[in-house]
Amino acid sequence: MMQKPRIKDVAARAGVGVSTVSVVLNNVEGARVSPETRERILSAARALGYTSNPIARSLRTRRTQTIGFVGDDIATTPFAGRMIQGAQDAAWQAGYLLFLVNTGGEHALERHAVRALLDRRVDGVIYATMYHRHVEIPEMLGDVSTVVLDACPTNGSVPYVVPDERGGAAAAVGELLRAGHRRIGFATESLEVPAASGRLAGYHETLAAARIPADPELVVAEHGDTTGGYRAATRLFDLGERPTAIFCYNDRMAMGCYRAAAERGLRIPYDLSVVGYDDQDLIAPELSPALTTVALPHYEMGTWAVRRLLELIRDDPEQSAQGHLMPCPLVRRDSVGPPPR
């Protein structure tokens, strides 16, 4: 392995000064270089297999073409990977590389991580959480362009992107409405998280828009897992007049709902329609019948975040904060049918 060529080598080979090489290779705007000199330089560079050393460049320009991605937990959720990939792809496309650091949600580690990233002179950072919630971002981030991914910052004023839970819920309920349902239950998550309140709001709004009076009985809260879904569905089934369709807070609850329905001999989608949320790989398509659900736009949020970040980096640093709602598309499968007569 021979030594990497330096700019000086290219200059020597082309018989010009290093600055001219620099100008040519960087396509500097207002620089006039004779076409033939330019060509000579270009071919010299090519012949040598020259690529500039980003480290040296960074030292001079104070920009590293890197961005830091700090996340609280990249491992446990399958969603995390998609966000990271979205971010990575967008960064790569723009010629940036991503530093990934995982904090496990520990505050101390997080501070350390941000510090390490700033030391490394990243041009910006993506601060991500692995599910939609409120977060306080480290104040050190005030020193660098930042965008928050899948969370609402409670301090500072930085752009952020979260799923449009409300719109997703509206799409889900709308689908049920279109199928003819009028009595639609909502099996919600009992935790107070933005996703839950957003989805509940979407549920209510959509029903109201269809002039269907709200029936508090139809909204039941349980844990957001299979068991919770089972419980919620059971409670709904035990109502005087049971709903003909259930919108579940997530696919795991929908799974529990399926089980409860099976036990009662309720066939989906004939006797009961159900729609979930999250579009989880190993659940939604695998259930039988396959579950109609709403997908979380993790990949898209990841790309949005770094695109926005790059804008911040390149344009004036003082932009007004803004939250972006990323649409959650409905994924139609086989768990919705007309209500039984």
Partner DNA sequence: CTGAAAGCGCTAACAC
Partner DNA sequence: GTGTTAGCGCTTTCAG
Which member of 28, 100, 191, 209 binds a second copy (CB under 8 A)?
A: 100
- For residues 262 and 135, what is the distance between their CA atoms, to the nearest angstrom? 40
Q: Which of 52, 85, 102, 190 binds DNA (CB under 7 A)?
A: 52
CA 67 centroid distance within chain:
16
Let me know: does 217 contact 188? Beta carbons within 8 Å.
no
Q: In whole angstroms, what is the distance from residue 220 CA to residue 229 CA?
A: 10
CA–CA separation, 68 and 145 (whole Å): 10
Query: Does residue 82 touch a second copy according to CB under 8 A?
Result: yes
Do 156 and 137 form a contact (C-beta atoms < 8 A)? yes
Interaction of residue 115 with a second copy, rule CB under 8 A: yes
Q: Which does 235 bind (CB under 5 to 8 A by kind): a second copy, DNA, none?
A: none
Distance of CA 154 to the CA centre of its chain: 18
**Distance between CA atoms of 312 and 310, rounded to whole angstroms?**
5
x/- string (CB under 7 A) for DNA, residues 276-305? ------------------------------
* Residue 3 CB neighbours (<10 A): 6
Q: Which is nearer to a second copy, 47 or 97 (CB)?
A: 97
Judged by CB under 8 A, does residue 270 bind a second copy?
A: no
Cβ of residue 1: shortest distance to DNA, in angstroms? 14
Q: What are φ and ψ of residue 32, in 5° steps?
A: -100, 115
Among 121, 133, 235, 333, binds a second copy (CB under 8 A): 121
- C-alpha span between 6 and 264 (Å, rounded): 75
Core vs surface per residue 270-308: b (16+ CB within 10 A) or e: eebbbbbbbbbeebbeebebebbbbbbbbbbbbbbbbbb
Using rule CB under 8 A, residue 18 touches a second copy: no
User: In the bound complex, what is the minimum distance in angstroms from residue 78's beta carbon to a second copy?
Assistant: 4
Number of H helices, E strands in the chain: 11, 12
Does residue 37 belong to the site contacting DNA (CB under 7 A)?
yes
77's contact among a second copy, DNA, none, with CB below 5 to 8 A by partner kind, is a second copy
What does 128 bind: a second copy, DNA, none (CB cut-off 5 to 8 Å by kind)?
none
Choose the stretch contacting DNA; rule: CB under 7 A; options: 14-22, 151-159, 205-213, 312-320.
Answer: 14-22
Contact footprint for a second copy (CB under 8 A): 1, 51-56, 58-59, 64, 66, 69, 74-78, 80-82, 84-85, 88-89, 92, 97-102, 113, 115-117, 119-121, 142-143, 226, 252, 255, 280-283, 286, 299
Contact footprint for DNA (CB under 7 A): 6-8, 15-20, 22-23, 25-26, 28, 31-34, 37-38, 52-53, 56-57, 59-61
